[in-house]
């Protein structure tokens, strides 16, 4: 298991749900944690909690459906870390409305692909080259086990796209100590998962951290299912 003390980690969507648990767990491991959500107020509670524990934590706000704000986020992370981001936890996502089969709208596809696939891909594009130069990085893209729900087709297709990004990047990362993997949290009672989900949000740990703590030999391109570790 890798020692990640003092590593710089960015967690998107750290204000609540799964991202909040992941940010807290990375702080407990001694990382310097950059907390992202739409508004600075969203992460204030976890920023205060981590700072009180002696963790070096920072908040950045960005709407991930705005290309301009994503570009600013990338710049801010670069400035804060002196271009040394070590861990990218691509967690933030939106769920599309539940609609009749064949009824998802253009807007459902556009918004979910932008936030759930294009932005995580661009964050990978922005930070993986620096990780490769330093030969250390851990990137986790949060996916979903959703299947056979055509009513949520736009959401599930957007997750499939990010799965494909991971798969097709494997040859580029082969033999390096930059590991890019997928994490499926299971169905959890978060704002996105809804009240009917069988699992508590806390059940995402310790599994959600497994792809961050991997040794180099474990490689890239695998799917880690958090519920297998709870
Ligand atoms: N919960 C489940 O059952 C489940 C199952 C499979 C996969 N997942 C995946 O797990 C990840 C986290 O889900 P969750 O259940 O923890 O969701 P959540 O509780 O709804 O939290 C979503 C997080 O993403 C941020 N976010 C959403 N849209 C954003 C946008 N347009 N711009 C910036 N930030 C945005 C939110 O920030 P604000 O607070 O600022 O809005 C929040 O921090 C997602 O990738 C999701 O697809 C969840």
Q: pLDDT by residue (tens digit) across 87-145?
A: 999 999 999 999 999 999 999 999 999 999 999 999 999 999 999 999 999 999 999 99
**Which residues, 6+ apart, have CB-to-CB distance to 110 below 8 Å?**
none
Q: What's the confidence (pLDDT) of residue 38?
A: 98
Instruction: Give, using CA atoms, the residue closest to atom 44 of ligand 1.
Output: 93
The edge-to-edge listing of strands for the beta sheet with 178-184 is 57-61, 32-37, 8-11, 87-90, 137-142, 178-184, 223-225
Span 177-202, pLDDT tens digits = 999 999 999 999 999 999 999 999 99
Torsion region of 219: left, alpha or beta (phi above 0 gives left; psi -120 to 50 gives alpha) = left
Q: What's the confidence (pLDDT) of residue 2?
A: 85
Pocket test for ligand 1, best of 11, 14, 15, 18 (most atoms within 8 A of CB): 18
CA 194 to ligand 1 centroid distance, Å: 12
Residue ranges of domains in the chain: 8-229
Decide: 181 and 157 in contact? Cβ < 8 Å.
Answer: no
Q: In terms of CATH, what superfamily is 8-229?
A: NAD(P)-binding Rossmann-like Domain (3.40.50.720)
- pLDDT at residue 1 above 90? no
Average pLDDT score over residue span 36-63: 98
Bridge-based pairing state of the strands 57-61 and 32-37 = parallel
Which atom belonging to ligand 1 lies closest to the Cα atom of 19? 16
């Amino acid at each position: 298991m890798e020692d990640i003390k003092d590593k710089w980690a960015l967690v998107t969507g750290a204000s609540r749900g799964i991202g909040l648990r992941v940010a807290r767990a990375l702080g407990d491991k001694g990382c310097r944690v950059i907390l992202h959500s739409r508004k600075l107020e969203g992460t204030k509670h976890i920023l205060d909690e981590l700072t009180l524990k002696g963790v070096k934590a920072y908040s950045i706000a960005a709407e991930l459906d705005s290309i301009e704000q994503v570009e600013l986020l990338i710049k801010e992370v670069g400035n804060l870390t002196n271009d040394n981001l070590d861990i990218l936890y691509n967690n933030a996502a939106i769920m599309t409305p539940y609609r009749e089969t064949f009824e998802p709208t253009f807007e459902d596809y556009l918004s979910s692909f932008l936030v759930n696939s294009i932005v995580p891909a661009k964050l990978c594009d922005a930070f993986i080259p620096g990780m490769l130069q330093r030969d250390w990085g851990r990137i986790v893209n949060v996916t979903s086990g959703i299947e056979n729900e055509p009513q949520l087709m736009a959401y599930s297709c957007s997750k499939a796209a990010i799965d494909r990004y991971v798969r097709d990047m494997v040859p580029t990362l082969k033999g390096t100590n930059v590991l890019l993997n997928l994490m499926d949290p299971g169905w959890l009672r978060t704002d996105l998962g809804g009240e009917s989900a069988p699992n508590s949000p806390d059940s995402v740990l310790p599994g959600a951290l497994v792809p961050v703590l991997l040794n180099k030999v474990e490689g890239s391109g695998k799917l880690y299912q958090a519920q297998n570790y709870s």
